[in-house]
């Protein structure tokens, strides 16, 4: 049996929930691509050139939010004059269509700028700032259609590092919202019953509020698990799943990490959820029906796989991604064992996949093409494309969009 990621499945709830807009082959509309798994329907090349010349490049202010592309528009966020700012571009030329300020920039030792990747859904852009300003913009012209601020929902902002308060509450929001046809699901981080809030996408009306958990840095996913649609995320208190229609808890796996720092995006394969932190290691949690409810049982825990900042991708029964020792690893999801490890990587390696090939952007700005084989590490090419970067790229129609602290580039790696 070869389980596959499940994040865009029909939901039997009397309303339709989809995790992204109707897609073309040229869409990368949200964090980690069309369905938040790092998988893309666009093919990858068989090799990489020794050097590249960008199709275009434009200067940007600082920021860590990934670029997104949908409905014929490329959007990137940066710090412009002390404001987190969204820029809508022509993906073919880089020409600017509009810019819109979102809210005051948060600054710490990691430099200023946005950290939350926005979402394009149909004719709208949904974006949140590190300080908790959330906006729905019209994609055509950047006009704000509705907005809220996490403070209005009871989130307490305290940027003192030693307070012990939730990660996002003291160091800025990093996770990306999840947008469906019927819900905008946002991790607010209020301990007054509004840890996670669902908004109506067109009007911003609050549909429900749920839980008292403080927010970590994780981006949530929507998946069908054990025959039931589930909103799955990690808070400062551990893993949990909520019912998308009303926010009630389906299951929880409590655990705490150093500095409340859960970063990775949950990975769903069949009825098992995989998640790792820098202090507890990689765990597999099997979800099963239990009468009218659910039971979450830990299938295994590998405490040595303390994956920190980069979420692996799943192909069949294996995970591929940055390991715990600045290495690139292949992990068997059946027992958490490492089938191979390749040293020589850094702190971050954004990984995406098409078919049996992996595209990896390292924090030193190298783009690597790998064959996804559980037998061995097999490199098909590498090329320097940008400066030092922690930003996840977007990939669309043979073009990879990469940014560093100074600029955004469009680099064609597959000819059409």
| Residue pLDDT, tens place only, 285-319 | 999 999 999 999 999 999 999 999 999 999 999 99
Element (H, E) at 195: strand 194-199
pLDDT at residue 161, rounded to an integer? 57
pLDDT at residue 10, rounded to an integer? 37
Paired tokens of 39: 């998988």
pLDDT at residue 11, rounded to an integer? 37
Paired tokens of 63: 């920021």
Q: Containing domain of residue 116, as a range?
A: 56-412
CA distance 370 to 241: 33
Please check whether residue 40 lies inside any domain of the structure: no
pLDDT at 108 over 90: no
Provide CB contacts within 8 A for 84, sequence distance 6+: 63, 77, 78, 101, 102, 103, 104, 105, 113, 114, 129, 130, 133
| Residue pLDDT, tens place only, 251-261 | 999 998 877 77
| Residue pLDDT, tens place only, 185-217 | 999 998 999 999 999 999 999 999 999 999 999
Please check whether residue 47 lies inside any domain of the structure: no
**Dihedral pair phi/psi, residue 268, rounded to 5°:** -115, 125
DSSP secondary structure string for all residues of 86-106: EEEE-TTT--EEEEEEEEEPP
Please check whether residue 44 lies inside any domain of the structure: no
When pLDDT is averaged across residues 388-395 and rounded to a whole number, the result is: 97
Sheet of 407-412, strand order? 56-59, 407-412, 399-403, 394-396
**Dihedral pair phi/psi, residue 302, rounded to 5°:** -110, 100
Please check whether residue 42 lies inside any domain of the structure: no
| Residue pLDDT, tens place only, 72-93 | 999 999 999 999 999 999 999 9
CA distance 370 to 378: 6
DSSP secondary structure string for all residues of 47-89: S--SS---SEEEE-----PPPEEETTEEEEEEEETTEEEEEEE
Provide CB contacts within 8 A for 408, sequence distance 6+: 57, 58, 60, 67, 76, 89, 94, 401, 402
CATH number at residue 233: 2.130.10.10
Element (H, E) at 170: helix 167-171
DSSP secondary structure string for all residues of 376-414: --EEEEEEE-SSS--PPPEEETTEEEEE-SSEEEEEE-S
Element (H, E) at 133: strand 133-138
CB 75 within 8 A of CB 68: yes
pLDDT at residue 160, rounded to an integer? 63
Sheet of 144-149, strand order? 119-121, 124-128, 133-138, 144-149
Please give the DSSP secondary-structure letter assigned to residue 348: -
DSSP secondary structure string for all residues of 239-308: EEEE-TTT--EEEEEE---GGG---SPPEEETTEEEEEETTTEEEEEEEEEETTEEEEEEEEEETT----
Please check whether residue 166 lies inside any domain of the structure: yes
| Residue pLDDT, tens place only, 213-255 | 999 999 999 999 999 999 999 999 999 999 999 999 999 999 9
pLDDT at residue 109, rounded to an integer? 73
Mean pLDDT rounded to a whole number for the chain: 91
pLDDT at residue 140, rounded to an integer? 98
Provide CB contacts within 8 A for 109, sequence distance 6+: none
pLDDT cut 90: percent of the chain above it: 84
Return the closest-CA partner of residue 74 out of 20, 139, 129: 139
pLDDT interval class at 111 (50, 70, 90):
confident
When pLDDT is averaged across residues 40-66 and rounded to a whole number, the result is: 96
What's the number of domains the chain is made of? 1
When pLDDT is averaged across residues 277-281 and rounded to a whole number, the result is: 92
CA distance 181 to 201: 7
| Residue pLDDT, tens place only, 326-380 | 999 999 999 999 999 999 999 999 999 999 999 999 999 999 999 999 999 999 9
Please check whether residue 257 lies inside any domain of the structure: yes
CA distance 2 to 292: 28
When pLDDT is averaged across residues 41-66 and rounded to a whole number, the result is: 96
Please check whether residue 18 lies inside any domain of the structure: no
Please check whether residue 10 lies inside any domain of the structure: no
Q: How many CA atoms lie within 13 A of 229 on its CB side?
A: 19
pLDDT at residue 159, rounded to an integer? 64
pLDDT interval class at 2 (50, 70, 90):
very low
pLDDT at residue 260, rounded to an integer? 76
Return the closest-CA partner of residue 76 out of 412, 308, 404, 411: 404
Provide CB contacts within 8 A for 300, sequence distance 6+: 283, 284, 335, 336
| Residue pLDDT, tens place only, 127-186 | 999 999 999 999 999 999 999 999 999 988 776 655 556 667 667 889 999 999 999 999
Element (H, E) at 149: strand 144-149
How far apart, in Å, are the Cα atoms of 312 and each of 165, 254, 258, 268?
28, 22, 21, 11
Rounded to two decimals, the pTM is 0.93
Give 282's strand partners.
276, 302
């Amino acid at each position: 049996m070869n389980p596959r990621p499940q994040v865009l499945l029909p939901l039997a709830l009397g309303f339709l929930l989809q995790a992204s807009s109707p897609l073309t082959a040229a869409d990368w509309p949200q964090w980690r691509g069309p369905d938040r798994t790092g998988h893309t329907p666009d093919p990858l090349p068989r090799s990489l050139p020794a050097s590249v010349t960008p199709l275009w490049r434009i200067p940007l202010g600082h920021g860590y939010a990934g670029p997104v592309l949908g409905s014929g528009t490329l959007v990137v966020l940066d710090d412009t004059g002390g404001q987190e700012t969204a820029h809508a571009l022509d993906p073919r030329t880089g020409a600017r269509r509009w810019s819109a300020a979102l809210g005051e920039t948060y600054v710490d030792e990691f430099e200023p700028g946005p950290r939350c990747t926005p979402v394009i859904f149909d004719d709208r852009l949904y974006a949140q700032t590190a300080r908790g300003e959330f906006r729905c913009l019209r994609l055509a012209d950047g006009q704000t259609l509705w907005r809220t601020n996490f403070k209005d929902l009871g989130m307490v902002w305290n940027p003192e590092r030693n307070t012990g308060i939730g990660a996002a509450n003291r160091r800025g929001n990093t996770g990306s919202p999840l947008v469906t046809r019927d819900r905008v699901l946002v991790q607010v981080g209020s301990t007054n019953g509004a840890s996670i809030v669902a908004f109506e996408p067109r009007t911003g009306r609050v549909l429900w509020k749920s839980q008292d958990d403080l927010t970590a840095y994780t981006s949530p996913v929507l998946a069908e698990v054990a025959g039931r649609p589930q909103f799955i995320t990690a808070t400062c208190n551990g893993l949990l799943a909520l019912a998308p229609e009303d926010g009630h808890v389906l299951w929880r796996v409590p655990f705490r990490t150093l500095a409340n720092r859960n970063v990775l995006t949950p990975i769903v394969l069949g009825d098992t959820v995989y998640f790792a932190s820098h202090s507890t290691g990689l765990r597999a949690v099997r979800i099963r029906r239990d009468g009218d409810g659910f039971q979450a049982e830990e299938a295994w825990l590998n405490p040595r796989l303390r994956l920190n900042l980069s979420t692996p991708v799943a192909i069949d029964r294996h995970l591929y991604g940055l390991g715990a020792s600045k290495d690139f690893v292949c992990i068997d999801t059946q027992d958490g064992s490492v089938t191979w490890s390749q040293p020589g990587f850094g702190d971050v390696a954004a990984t995406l996949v098409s078919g049996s090939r992996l595209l990896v952007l390292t924090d030193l700005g190298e783009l690597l093409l790998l064959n996804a084989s559980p037998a061995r590490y097999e490199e098909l090419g590498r090329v320097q494309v940008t400066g030092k970067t922690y930003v996840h790229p977007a990939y669309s129609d043979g073009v990879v969009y990469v940014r560093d602290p100074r600029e955004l580039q469009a680099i064609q790696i597959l000819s059409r």
